[in-house]
Structure 1
């Protein structure tokens, strides 16, 4: 049996998800949305930052930091090459950047790209 607290959290999560879904549907709906409306939906100081593909030894971390005093909201990465596998993709401990690592089967190195979504 669920406790009242977990039930409340589940209901709150559903309400938040419904609100986010409604916002996304409104922004992506059939009617044209102005660039100003889309910009207003982004968090203050929003910036997508990338660290282009580079070959690094297998399992070596590549870290991308947000510029200035911005913090990371999310991120990801890509492992490139024959048999390349993305092994890890996660934020830095201080929430200022994103870390990605991978490996490539049969090779000593792997191509890794890193992406971070930053905001104030």
Structure 2
């Protein structure tokens, strides 16, 4: 089995195998989410430096958020919002309530990257 490795061009390179990083995120991100929120983290098959995070909100909101996460270096991540859905339908992410949720989840993703710095910093 071939293992993909994240490689960065900065002085602070990330050289953790993609699957190990995804597993670390699977353990760490749920600790930062609101009770009842769930997250799925999976590798990007086309880009070994990227993985995806799918978050489902708790309760009656029935909201789902898809993010692409890429390490810039061993500590800093770049987050791209890919999709927001409600009841299985893509929705406009511009309303204030949705923007607040996106902001909260982006913060949780950054907190997870910080919490894993011991793992990602060579």
- Is this a same-fold pair by TM over 0.5? no
- Higher RCO, 1 or 2 (CA under 8 Å, sep at least 6)? 1
The structure richer in strand per residue is: 1
TM-score by length of 1: 0.31
